[in-house]
Structure 1
Amino acid sequence: MNRIVTSISLSLDGFFEGPDHDIDWHTVDEEVHQHFNDYFRTMGGFVEGRVTYELMEEFWPTADQDPANEGPMAEFAGIWRDVPKFVFSRTLESVGPNATLLHEVDPEQVRGLRDAASGDLAVGGADLLESFRRADLIDEYRIYVHPVILGRGRRFFRDAEERQMLRLVETRTFGNGVAMLRYETVRA
Structure 2
Amino acid sequence: MRRLTVGMNLSLDGYTAAPGDDLGWGVPSDELFQWWSDRVGATGLALYGRRLWEAMNSHWPTADQQPGATPAEIEYARRWRDMPKVVFSSTTSTVDGNARLVTGDAVTEITRLKAGDGGPMDVGGATLAAAAMRAGLVDEYAVVTHPVLIGGGTPFFTALDAWVTLDLVETREFPGGVLLTRYATRH
- TM-score tier by shorter-chain length is over 0.9
Is this contact kept in 1: 2:106–2:128, CA < 8 A?
no
Matched ranges for 1:27-176 at <5 A: 27-105=27-105, 107-116=107-116, 118-176=118-176
- Scaled by the length of structure 2, the TM-score of the pair is 0.93
Regions of 4+ moved over 4 Å: none
In 2, Cα distance between the equivalents of 1:72 and 1:103?
Answer: 33
Letter in 1 for 2:143: I
Deviations 1:122-152 (A, max 9, x none): 1001111111111111111000000111122
CA RMSD of aligned residues (A): 1.5
Deviations 1:101-136 (A, max 9, x none): 111235453233234453111100111111111111
Q: Name which of structure 1's ranges 132-141 and 98-107 shifts more when overlaid on structure 2.
A: 98-107
In 2, Cα distance between the equivalents of 1:22 and 1:29?
Answer: 18
Distance 1:152 1:138, change over 3 A: same
In 1, Cα distance between the equivalents of 2:147 and 2:27?
Answer: 8
Identity %: 39
In 2, Cα distance between the equivalents of 1:106 and 1:125?
Answer: 12
In 1, Cα distance between the equivalents of 2:173 and 2:37?
Answer: 17
Is this contact kept in 2: 1:27–1:146, CA < 8 A?
no
The alignment partner of 2:5 has SS state of: strand
- In structure 2, the residue matched to 1:9 is 9
Is this contact kept in 2: 1:143–1:181, CA < 8 A?
yes
Is this contact kept in 1: 2:44–2:84, CA < 8 A?
yes
- Scaled by the length of structure 1, the TM-score of the pair is 0.93
**Structure 2, gaps ≥5 residues long:** none
